[in-house]
Amino acid sequence: MDKKYLKKVVTGLSIAGLVTGIGGLAIGAGG
């Protein structure tokens, strides 16, 4: 597997996880 592609995937997952975490906290605090 291409390392550049792998890095992109890992970065994408990290950002997605971060957004999901912040969204979950916002919903938890708002609700």
pLDDT, one tens digit per residue, over 1-31 is: 799 999 999 999 999 999 999 999 999 888 7
- Which pLDDT does position 12 carry in this prediction? 95
SS (H, E, C) 3-15: HHHHHHHHHHHHH
Could you give the CA distance from residue 20 to residue 23 in angstroms, rounded to a whole number?
Answer: 5
pLDDT at 30: 84
CA distance 15 to 12: 5
- This prediction has a pTM of 0.61
Residue 1: predicted pLDDT: 74
pLDDT at site 21 = 93
Q: Write the single-letter amino acid at 6.
A: L
| DSSP letter (8 states) at residue 25 | H
Longest dimension (CA), the chain: 43
